[in-house]
Amino acid sequence: MIDFLQLIVSGTATGACYALAALGFTLLWQASGTINFALGEMVMLPAFIMLFFIGPAGLPLPLAFAATLLVSLLVLGLGFKRLVVDPMLKHGVIPLVIATLGLSIAMKQGVRIAFSAQVFTFPAIFSQELLSIGGARLSVSDLGTVIVAGGLVVALQTFLNRTLTGRAMQAVAQNRDAATVLGINVQRMVLYAFLINAALAATTALLVTPVYLAKFDMGDTLGLKAFYAAIIGGFNQSRGALLGGVLVGVLENLVGAYLSPGYKDGVALVLFLAVILFKPEGLLGKPEERKV
């Protein structure tokens, strides 16, 4: 039972990081119909930007994160929208998907050239101590990750459901034409979605890199898992991303511990296939009809 609790907590921590990245997928899809396959690299890049601010620039971690957040908003939010999505989206979804795949390769190789293909250590944001709860020894780092990631998801949900801007963003996601008629500045709402996506990616980088270590290809696995999580939970539901992420993280741990570590990486793929076959809109998603 104690092992089980440890597995659930550490799986939830891993899953919460998948969920943060998956939220980026769902937000961009809802706001602009963008499928972003460079999401893993959008987590990797802030990790290296933070390393730059910590190392050569000599900033302490909190300031380095703040500076990275700013750069991410500009480059991965505003820059990504203006330079990649806006010019490509008018040609349809497929060219945009290909563009994001190209962007992912460019970002990886760019970081490889700038920082080398080596792996880099990254400062931990939480204490490395253990808490003893009910006989189970739980990592402060895992609990901290769950709290930060969970808090962000709750804050985002509150923002989307309880504020005027959030509701306007949802209106844009549901029907752009109707939102325009209602006087909502659609372009601004879409931009907000890109900025939130960039902020989520930078935060994910802060949470996962101390454990995964910084490497130019660190986004490969994370991006893929986040994509699976978004599909499993429901591509058109932010809550779905949370469910999908946590489900993948926890089940990976349980399968790894009780079946075999060798099957662990297959969990997300099996869930993904099951959802595609039996509930294609995702566990919490709503079926969408589109005119063709």
Binding site for another protein (CB under 8 A): 3, 6-7, 10-11, 14, 112, 116-121, 128, 130, 137, 139, 141-142, 210-213, 215, 218, 221-222, 252-257, 261-262, 264-265
At 216, is the secondary structure helix, strand, or coil? coil
Give whichever of 109 and 163 is closer to another protein, judged by the CB atom: 109
Give whichever of 219 and 234 is closer to another protein, judged by the CB atom: 219
According to DSSP, the β-strands at 130-133 and 136-139 are antiparallel
Q: How far is the CB of 212 from another protein (least distance, A)?
A: 5
Report d(CA 82, CA 77) in Å as an integer: 9
Q: Decide: 188 and 177 in contact? Cβ < 8 Å.
A: no
Q: How far is the CB of 264 from another protein (least distance, A)?
A: 6
Give whichever of 82 and 137 is closer to another protein, judged by the CB atom: 137
Give whichever of 139 and 238 is closer to another protein, judged by the CB atom: 139
Q: How far is the CB of 33 from another protein (least distance, A)?
A: 30
Give whichever of 6 and 180 is closer to another protein, judged by the CB atom: 6
Q: How far is the CB of 50 from another protein (least distance, A)?
A: 16
Q: What is the largest CA-CA distance in the chain?
A: 59
Written as one string, the DSSP assignment of 154-198 is: HHHHHHHHHSHHHHHHHHHHH-HHHHHHTT--HHHHHHHHHHHHH
Q: How far is the CB of 58 from another protein (least distance, A)?
A: 16
Count other C-beta atoms under 10 Å from residue 163's C-beta: 11
Query: How far is C-alpha 225 from the geometric centre of its chain's CA atoms?
Result: 9
Label residues 134-144 b or e (16+ Cβ within 10 Å = b).
eebebbebbbb
Q: How far is the CB of 169 from another protein (least distance, A)?
A: 32
Written as one string, the DSSP assignment of 67-98 is: HHHHHHIIIIIIIIIIIIIHHHHTT-HHHHHH
Strands of the chain, DSSP E: 130-133, 136-139
Q: How far is the CB of 102 from another protein (least distance, A)?
A: 14
Give whichever of 234 and 244 is closer to another protein, judged by the CB atom: 244
Q: How far is the CB of 162 from another protein (least distance, A)?
A: 34
Radius of gyration from C-alpha coordinates of the chain: 19
Instruction: Give pairs for 77-80: CB < 8 Å, separation 24+.
Output: 77/191, 77/194, 77/195, 77/197, 77/198, 77/199, 78/191, 78/194, 78/195, 80/42, 80/194, 80/198
Give whichever of 89 and 130 is closer to another protein, judged by the CB atom: 130
Give whichever of 37 and 212 is closer to another protein, judged by the CB atom: 212
